[in-house]
Amino acid sequence: MSVDNTEIETSQKVAQFSQQNDWINVDSYIDYVGVTELKYETEEKELTESFFDVFDYIPNTEINLIATDSLKDLINIKSENPVKIKAKYQDKYGNEISSSYPKIYYRQQDSSQDWNQAGLSSAGNNNFEKELSLDYGIYEYYIVADNANYPNEYQSSKKTIIVTERPHSFVNLNPNLQDGKGNSNTNLNFSWTASKGVETDILKYTLFLGTSENSMQEYDLATENFYTAKDLSPRTRYYWKVEVENQYGAKLLNPEIYNFITLGEIKKVYNAPNPFNPQKGQNTRIFFEMAQDGNVELDIYSEYGDKIYHGFADGLSKGNNEIVYNGKDDYGNVLYNGTYLCVIKKKYSNGGSKTERCRLLIIK
Protein backbone atom coordinates (compact mmCIF):
# COMPACT_ATOMS: atom_id res chain seq x y z
CA MET A 1 0.00 0.00 0.00
CA SER A 2 1.22 3.55 -0.83
CA VAL A 3 -0.18 6.70 0.76
CA ASP A 4 0.27 10.08 -0.89
CA ASN A 5 -0.60 13.01 1.38
CA THR A 6 -1.46 16.15 -0.59
CA GLU A 7 -2.33 19.58 0.73
CA ILE A 8 -4.97 21.43 -1.34
CA GLU A 9 -5.69 25.12 -0.93
CA THR A 10 -9.18 26.45 -1.73
CA SER A 11 -10.78 29.86 -1.37
CA GLN A 12 -12.67 28.72 1.72
CA LYS A 13 -10.26 26.44 3.61
CA VAL A 14 -7.30 24.10 3.45
CA ALA A 15 -8.21 20.41 3.44
CA GLN A 16 -6.27 17.15 3.65
CA PHE A 17 -7.08 13.88 1.84
CA SER A 18 -5.31 10.61 1.18
CA GLN A 19 -4.96 8.78 -2.11
CA GLN A 20 -4.65 4.99 -1.56
CA ASN A 21 -3.42 2.40 -4.08
CA ASP A 22 -4.28 -1.19 -3.03
CA TRP A 23 -2.14 -3.88 -4.73
CA ILE A 24 -4.25 -6.97 -4.79
CA ASN A 25 -3.06 -10.62 -5.09
CA VAL A 26 -5.43 -11.67 -7.82
CA ASP A 27 -6.54 -15.31 -7.81
CA SER A 28 -8.51 -15.15 -11.01
CA TYR A 29 -8.08 -14.05 -14.59
CA ILE A 30 -7.93 -10.24 -15.07
CA ASP A 31 -9.41 -9.25 -18.42
CA TYR A 32 -9.33 -5.45 -17.93
CA VAL A 33 -7.32 -2.71 -16.20
CA GLY A 34 -9.23 -1.16 -13.33
CA VAL A 35 -9.77 2.65 -13.11
CA THR A 36 -10.34 4.12 -9.69
CA GLU A 37 -11.78 7.65 -9.36
CA LEU A 38 -11.19 9.61 -6.15
CA LYS A 39 -13.39 12.58 -5.18
CA TYR A 40 -13.03 15.36 -2.55
CA GLU A 41 -15.75 17.87 -1.91
CA THR A 42 -15.02 21.51 -0.90
CA GLU A 43 -17.41 24.40 -0.40
CA GLU A 44 -16.54 25.93 -3.79
CA LYS A 45 -15.64 23.09 -6.18
CA GLU A 46 -15.20 19.37 -6.62
CA LEU A 47 -11.66 18.08 -7.00
CA THR A 48 -11.29 14.96 -9.13
CA GLU A 49 -8.16 12.85 -9.66
CA SER A 50 -7.87 9.50 -11.48
CA PHE A 51 -5.11 6.86 -11.53
CA PHE A 52 -4.45 3.42 -13.09
CA ASP A 53 -3.57 0.20 -11.24
CA VAL A 54 -1.71 -2.04 -13.69
CA PHE A 55 -1.26 -5.72 -12.73
CA ASP A 56 1.25 -8.02 -14.38
CA TYR A 57 -0.99 -11.11 -13.99
CA ILE A 58 0.61 -14.52 -14.33
CA PRO A 59 -1.78 -17.48 -13.94
CA ASN A 60 -0.87 -20.55 -11.97
CA THR A 61 2.10 -22.17 -13.69
CA GLU A 62 1.84 -25.31 -11.58
CA ILE A 63 -1.19 -26.87 -13.20
CA ASN A 64 -1.74 -30.09 -11.31
CA LEU A 65 -2.26 -32.96 -13.71
CA ILE A 66 -2.86 -36.17 -11.78
CA ALA A 67 -2.69 -39.56 -13.50
CA THR A 68 -4.40 -42.52 -11.84
CA ASP A 69 -1.07 -44.32 -11.59
CA SER A 70 0.76 -41.37 -10.08
CA LEU A 71 1.91 -43.40 -7.07
CA LYS A 72 3.24 -46.46 -8.88
CA ASP A 73 3.79 -47.86 -12.32
CA LEU A 74 0.76 -49.49 -13.87
CA ILE A 75 0.65 -53.19 -14.80
CA ASN A 76 -1.98 -53.73 -17.46
CA ILE A 77 -3.23 -57.25 -18.23
CA LYS A 78 -4.13 -56.97 -21.90
CA SER A 79 -6.57 -59.90 -22.02
CA GLU A 80 -8.49 -58.68 -18.97
CA ASN A 81 -8.82 -54.93 -19.58
CA PRO A 82 -8.08 -52.50 -22.38
CA VAL A 83 -5.00 -50.33 -21.94
CA LYS A 84 -6.56 -47.11 -20.67
CA ILE A 85 -4.85 -43.95 -19.42
CA LYS A 86 -6.84 -41.73 -17.07
CA ALA A 87 -5.97 -38.22 -15.91
CA LYS A 88 -7.55 -35.39 -13.95
CA TYR A 89 -6.89 -31.72 -14.69
CA GLN A 90 -6.78 -29.37 -11.69
CA ASP A 91 -6.12 -25.64 -11.60
CA LYS A 92 -6.54 -23.84 -8.27
CA TYR A 93 -7.29 -20.59 -10.10
CA GLY A 94 -10.29 -22.14 -11.79
CA ASN A 95 -8.98 -21.78 -15.34
CA GLU A 96 -10.44 -24.16 -17.88
CA ILE A 97 -8.18 -26.41 -19.88
CA SER A 98 -7.70 -25.39 -23.50
CA SER A 99 -9.46 -27.29 -26.26
CA SER A 100 -7.55 -30.28 -27.69
CA TYR A 101 -5.88 -30.81 -24.30
CA PRO A 102 -4.69 -32.82 -22.45
CA LYS A 103 -2.47 -34.81 -24.80
CA ILE A 104 -0.49 -37.98 -24.18
CA TYR A 105 2.92 -38.77 -25.65
CA TYR A 106 4.06 -42.40 -25.46
CA ARG A 107 6.59 -44.87 -26.89
CA GLN A 108 8.28 -48.13 -25.92
CA GLN A 109 10.84 -47.73 -23.16
CA ASP A 110 14.51 -47.42 -24.21
CA SER A 111 13.39 -46.77 -27.75
CA SER A 112 14.84 -44.33 -30.25
CA GLN A 113 11.48 -44.08 -32.01
CA ASP A 114 9.53 -40.84 -32.17
CA TRP A 115 6.90 -40.21 -29.55
CA ASN A 116 3.33 -41.19 -30.47
CA GLN A 117 0.74 -38.50 -29.70
CA ALA A 118 -2.95 -38.76 -28.90
CA GLY A 119 -5.59 -36.60 -27.28
CA LEU A 120 -7.52 -37.63 -24.18
CA SER A 121 -11.31 -37.47 -24.25
CA SER A 122 -13.35 -35.76 -21.55
CA ALA A 123 -15.12 -38.01 -19.05
CA GLY A 124 -16.70 -35.08 -17.16
CA ASN A 125 -15.63 -33.13 -14.06
CA ASN A 126 -12.18 -32.41 -15.53
CA ASN A 127 -11.49 -36.16 -15.88
CA PHE A 128 -10.00 -37.37 -19.13
CA GLU A 129 -9.15 -40.80 -20.53
CA LYS A 130 -7.68 -42.50 -23.57
CA GLU A 131 -7.74 -46.15 -24.63
CA LEU A 132 -4.53 -47.20 -26.36
CA SER A 133 -3.82 -50.16 -28.61
CA LEU A 134 -0.42 -51.41 -27.40
CA ASP A 135 1.50 -54.64 -27.90
CA TYR A 136 3.23 -56.40 -24.99
CA GLY A 137 6.11 -54.53 -23.40
CA ILE A 138 7.03 -51.53 -21.25
CA TYR A 139 6.02 -48.06 -22.41
CA GLU A 140 6.93 -44.61 -21.11
CA TYR A 141 4.55 -41.71 -21.39
CA TYR A 142 3.82 -38.21 -20.22
CA ILE A 143 0.82 -35.87 -20.45
CA VAL A 144 0.71 -32.18 -21.34
CA ALA A 145 -1.96 -29.59 -20.55
CA ASP A 146 -2.58 -25.95 -21.38
CA ASN A 147 -5.00 -23.16 -20.57
CA ALA A 148 -5.77 -20.07 -22.60
CA ASN A 149 -4.37 -17.70 -19.97
CA TYR A 150 -0.81 -18.99 -20.04
CA PRO A 151 1.25 -19.40 -23.21
CA ASN A 152 3.22 -22.50 -22.21
CA GLU A 153 2.20 -26.14 -21.90
CA TYR A 154 2.54 -27.91 -18.59
CA GLN A 155 4.19 -31.33 -18.86
CA SER A 156 3.75 -34.10 -16.30
CA SER A 157 6.63 -36.29 -15.20
CA LYS A 158 7.33 -39.42 -17.23
CA LYS A 159 5.65 -42.60 -16.09
CA THR A 160 5.62 -46.19 -17.31
CA ILE A 161 2.88 -48.59 -18.23
CA ILE A 162 3.48 -52.35 -18.54
CA VAL A 163 1.39 -54.37 -20.97
CA THR A 164 1.58 -58.08 -20.17
CA GLU A 165 -0.32 -61.31 -19.48
CA ARG A 166 -0.53 -63.42 -16.36
CA PRO A 167 1.16 -66.82 -16.10
CA HIS A 168 -1.29 -69.64 -16.83
CA SER A 169 -2.13 -72.91 -15.09
CA PHE A 170 0.39 -75.53 -14.01
CA VAL A 171 1.45 -78.56 -15.98
CA ASN A 172 3.67 -81.50 -14.91
CA LEU A 173 2.77 -80.93 -11.28
CA ASN A 174 4.45 -83.25 -8.78
CA PRO A 175 3.31 -84.59 -6.41
CA ASN A 176 -0.17 -84.45 -7.92
CA LEU A 177 -1.96 -85.74 -4.84
CA GLN A 178 -5.25 -84.07 -4.02
CA ASP A 179 -7.80 -84.60 -1.25
CA GLY A 180 -5.49 -87.05 0.52
CA LYS A 181 -5.69 -89.56 -2.33
CA GLY A 182 -2.45 -91.43 -1.84
CA ASN A 183 0.38 -91.17 0.64
CA SER A 184 3.84 -89.69 0.27
CA ASN A 185 7.13 -90.01 2.08
CA THR A 186 8.72 -87.67 4.61
CA ASN A 187 11.33 -86.45 2.08
CA LEU A 188 9.39 -85.10 -0.84
CA ASN A 189 10.44 -83.56 -4.15
CA PHE A 190 8.10 -80.85 -5.44
CA SER A 191 8.30 -79.82 -9.09
CA TRP A 192 6.05 -77.98 -11.53
CA THR A 193 5.92 -76.12 -14.81
CA ALA A 194 3.73 -73.07 -15.32
CA SER A 195 2.63 -71.79 -18.71
CA LYS A 196 3.92 -68.31 -19.58
CA GLY A 197 1.50 -65.56 -20.50
CA VAL A 198 4.04 -64.15 -22.98
CA GLU A 199 6.77 -66.36 -24.41
CA THR A 200 9.58 -64.02 -23.39
CA ASP A 201 8.45 -63.82 -19.74
CA ILE A 202 10.72 -64.85 -16.87
CA LEU A 203 8.71 -66.61 -14.17
CA LYS A 204 9.43 -66.47 -10.45
CA TYR A 205 8.03 -68.94 -7.92
CA THR A 206 7.10 -68.96 -4.26
CA LEU A 207 6.23 -72.27 -2.56
CA PHE A 208 3.87 -72.39 0.42
CA LEU A 209 3.91 -75.55 2.56
CA GLY A 210 2.48 -76.39 5.96
CA THR A 211 0.15 -78.52 8.05
CA SER A 212 -2.59 -75.87 7.99
CA GLU A 213 -4.25 -74.49 4.88
CA ASN A 214 -4.33 -71.03 6.47
CA SER A 215 -0.79 -71.07 7.87
CA MET A 216 1.86 -72.26 5.44
CA GLN A 217 5.56 -71.43 5.46
CA GLU A 218 6.79 -69.40 2.51
CA TYR A 219 9.81 -70.38 0.40
CA ASP A 220 11.09 -67.86 -2.16
CA LEU A 221 12.56 -69.98 -4.96
CA ALA A 222 13.32 -67.21 -7.50
CA THR A 223 13.26 -68.92 -10.93
CA GLU A 224 13.69 -72.49 -9.59
CA ASN A 225 10.64 -74.69 -10.26
CA PHE A 226 11.46 -77.44 -7.77
CA TYR A 227 11.95 -77.87 -4.05
CA THR A 228 12.91 -80.77 -1.76
CA ALA A 229 11.16 -80.91 1.60
CA LYS A 230 13.09 -82.92 4.17
CA ASP A 231 12.09 -84.56 7.44
CA LEU A 232 8.35 -84.05 7.14
CA SER A 233 6.39 -85.50 10.01
CA PRO A 234 5.11 -89.06 9.37
CA ARG A 235 1.40 -89.76 9.02
CA THR A 236 0.58 -86.03 8.72
CA ARG A 237 -1.55 -84.10 6.25
CA TYR A 238 0.31 -81.26 4.49
CA TYR A 239 -1.03 -78.45 2.32
CA TRP A 240 0.92 -76.71 -0.42
CA LYS A 241 0.58 -74.28 -3.29
CA VAL A 242 2.86 -72.36 -5.64
CA GLU A 243 2.49 -68.67 -6.49
CA VAL A 244 3.86 -67.60 -9.86
CA GLU A 245 4.56 -64.13 -11.22
CA ASN A 246 6.43 -62.77 -14.20
CA GLN A 247 9.25 -60.22 -14.15
CA TYR A 248 6.73 -57.35 -14.05
CA GLY A 249 4.77 -58.69 -11.08
CA ALA A 250 1.74 -60.06 -12.96
CA LYS A 251 0.60 -63.07 -10.92
CA LEU A 252 -1.22 -66.31 -11.60
CA LEU A 253 -4.70 -65.85 -10.16
CA ASN A 254 -5.92 -68.03 -7.28
CA PRO A 255 -3.37 -70.87 -7.37
CA GLU A 256 -4.89 -74.18 -6.27
CA ILE A 257 -4.05 -75.59 -2.85
CA TYR A 258 -3.02 -79.27 -2.89
CA ASN A 259 -2.70 -81.67 0.01
CA PHE A 260 -1.20 -85.05 0.79
CA ILE A 261 -0.64 -87.34 3.76
CA THR A 262 2.85 -88.55 4.61
CA LEU A 263 3.54 -92.18 5.30
CA GLY A 264 3.89 -93.64 8.73
CA GLU A 265 7.21 -95.05 9.79
CA ILE A 266 8.41 -97.67 7.29
CA LYS A 267 9.59 -100.86 8.96
CA LYS A 268 10.66 -102.61 5.74
CA VAL A 269 10.82 -101.85 2.02
CA TYR A 270 7.60 -102.33 -0.01
CA ASN A 271 6.03 -101.07 -3.23
CA ALA A 272 2.56 -99.81 -4.21
CA PRO A 273 0.55 -100.40 -6.23
CA ASN A 274 1.36 -104.07 -6.33
CA PRO A 275 0.56 -105.65 -8.71
CA PHE A 276 0.79 -103.00 -11.42
CA ASN A 277 0.52 -102.95 -15.23
CA PRO A 278 3.39 -101.12 -17.00
CA GLN A 279 1.81 -101.99 -20.35
CA LYS A 280 -0.89 -99.41 -19.54
CA GLY A 281 1.67 -96.85 -18.38
CA GLN A 282 1.35 -97.63 -14.67
CA ASN A 283 4.31 -97.10 -12.34
CA THR A 284 4.93 -98.49 -8.89
CA ARG A 285 6.45 -96.55 -6.00
CA ILE A 286 9.07 -98.32 -3.93
CA PHE A 287 9.09 -97.05 -0.34
CA PHE A 288 11.96 -97.44 2.13
CA GLU A 289 13.41 -95.75 5.19
CA MET A 290 16.89 -94.19 5.42
CA ALA A 291 18.49 -94.24 8.86
CA GLN A 292 20.92 -91.51 7.74
CA ASP A 293 21.48 -89.33 4.68
CA GLY A 294 22.94 -91.26 1.78
CA ASN A 295 22.45 -92.96 -1.60
CA VAL A 296 20.53 -95.98 -2.85
CA GLU A 297 21.09 -98.51 -5.64
CA LEU A 298 18.04 -100.29 -7.06
CA ASP A 299 18.33 -103.69 -8.80
CA ILE A 300 15.48 -105.72 -10.31
CA TYR A 301 15.95 -109.48 -10.82
CA SER A 302 13.84 -111.98 -12.75
CA GLU A 303 12.56 -115.11 -11.05
CA TYR A 304 15.53 -116.90 -12.65
CA GLY A 305 18.03 -114.61 -10.93
CA ASP A 306 18.92 -112.46 -13.96
CA LYS A 307 19.56 -108.77 -13.24
CA ILE A 308 17.33 -106.93 -15.72
CA TYR A 309 17.37 -103.38 -14.33
CA HIS A 310 19.82 -101.19 -12.42
CA GLY A 311 19.12 -97.71 -11.09
CA PHE A 312 20.25 -95.37 -8.33
CA ALA A 313 19.18 -92.34 -6.33
CA ASP A 314 21.65 -89.84 -4.88
CA GLY A 315 21.38 -87.28 -2.10
CA LEU A 316 18.58 -88.93 -0.14
CA SER A 317 17.76 -87.59 3.30
CA LYS A 318 17.13 -89.34 6.55
CA GLY A 319 13.56 -90.58 6.86
CA ASN A 320 10.99 -92.06 4.48
CA ASN A 321 11.95 -92.04 0.80
CA GLU A 322 10.68 -93.50 -2.43
CA ILE A 323 11.77 -94.45 -5.94
CA VAL A 324 9.32 -94.60 -8.84
CA TYR A 325 9.82 -97.65 -11.10
CA ASN A 326 8.17 -97.96 -14.54
CA GLY A 327 8.29 -101.74 -14.96
CA LYS A 328 10.88 -101.76 -17.79
CA ASP A 329 14.31 -103.32 -18.21
CA ASP A 330 17.58 -101.50 -18.95
CA TYR A 331 16.71 -101.51 -22.68
CA GLY A 332 13.28 -99.94 -22.22
CA ASN A 333 11.30 -103.15 -22.76
CA VAL A 334 8.19 -103.73 -20.65
CA LEU A 335 8.63 -106.70 -18.35
CA TYR A 336 6.56 -109.84 -18.82
CA ASN A 337 3.90 -111.00 -16.40
CA GLY A 338 5.38 -112.46 -13.29
CA THR A 339 7.08 -111.92 -9.98
CA TYR A 340 10.34 -109.96 -9.72
CA LEU A 341 12.78 -109.36 -6.91
CA CYS A 342 13.57 -105.74 -5.94
CA VAL A 343 16.83 -105.20 -4.07
CA ILE A 344 17.51 -101.87 -2.32
CA LYS A 345 21.14 -101.24 -1.33
CA LYS A 346 21.46 -98.32 1.09
CA LYS A 347 24.82 -96.56 1.48
CA TYR A 348 24.92 -93.99 4.27
CA SER A 349 27.11 -90.88 4.45
CA ASN A 350 28.61 -92.09 7.74
CA GLY A 351 29.96 -95.20 5.99
CA GLY A 352 27.23 -97.64 7.01
CA SER A 353 25.10 -99.69 4.60
CA LYS A 354 22.01 -101.87 4.55
CA THR A 355 20.30 -104.07 1.95
CA GLU A 356 16.54 -104.75 1.84
CA ARG A 357 14.30 -106.70 -0.55
CA CYS A 358 10.71 -106.83 -1.69
CA ARG A 359 8.76 -108.54 -4.49
CA LEU A 360 7.11 -106.84 -7.48
CA LEU A 361 4.17 -108.41 -9.29
CA ILE A 362 3.50 -107.42 -12.89
CA ILE A 363 0.14 -108.21 -14.54
CA LYS A 364 -0.74 -107.16 -18.09
For the stretch 329-349, pLDDT in tens is 999 999 999 999 999 999 999
**End residue of a domain, out of 246, 280, 302:** 246
73 and 125 share one domain: yes
Which pLDDT value is given to residue 111? Answer: 85
Q: Each residue of 291-310: pLDDT tens digit?
A: 899 999 999 999 999 999 99
Question: Which residues touch 311 (CB under 8 Å, ≥6 apart)?
Answer: 297, 298, 299, 323, 325
Cis peptide before 255 (omega within 30 of 0): no
Residues 293 and 323 in one domain: yes
- Number of structural domains (the chain) is 4
pLDDT tens for 7-24 read 444 444 444 444 444 444
pLDDT of residue 181: 54
Do residues 274 and 305 both lie within one domain?
yes
Is residue 7, in this structure, part of any structural domain at all? yes
R_g over Cα of the chain: 41
Write down the pLDDT at residue 112. 87
Percentage of residues in the chain having pLDDT higher than 90: 46
pLDDT in tens, 21-50: 444 444 433 333 333 444 434 444 443 443
The answer as to whether 262 is a domain residue is no
More confident residue, 112 or 95: 112
User: Beta 159-164 vs 74-77: how paired, if at all?
Assistant: parallel
* Average confidence score pLDDT of the chain: 80
Instruction: State residue 50's pLDDT score.
Output: 36
- Based on the domain organization, do 307 and 352 belong to the same domain? yes
The helix or strand, by DSSP H or E, that contains position 308, with its residue range, turns out to be strand 307-316
Domain boundary among 164, 179, 204: 164
Q: Could you tell me the residue range of the domain that residue 226 belongs to?
A: 170-246
Same domain, 139 and 154: yes
Kindly state whether residue 300 falls inside one of the protein's structural domains: yes
Residues 306 and 356 in one domain: yes
- For residues 232 and 276, membership in a common domain is answered with no
Q: Has residue 59 been placed in a domain?
A: no
Last residue in a domain, options 144, 164, 184: 164
Residue 284 and residue 315 in one domain: yes
190 belongs to a structural domain = yes
Predicted pLDDT of residue 69: 47
Q: Assign residue 125 the CATH number of its domain.
A: 2.60.40.10
pLDDT tens-digit profile of 228-260? 898 888 889 999 999 999 999 999 999 989 888
pTM to 2 decimal places: 0.63
Identify whether residues 43 and 89 lie together within a single domain: no
- Asked whether residue 298 is domain-assigned, the answer is yes
Position 64 scores a pLDDT of 56
For residue 2, the model assigns a pLDDT of 43
Q: Does residue 95 fall inside a structural domain?
A: yes
d(Cα 257, Cα 104) in Å, to the nearest integer? 43
230 domain residue, yes or no: yes
Instruction: Place 73 in a pLDDT band, splitting at 50, 70 and 90.
Output: low
363 within 8 A of 277, measured Cβ to Cβ: yes
- Summarised one tens digit per residue, pLDDT across range 254-288 is 998 988 888 888 889 999 899 999 999 999 999 99
Q: How many residues does the chain have?
A: 364
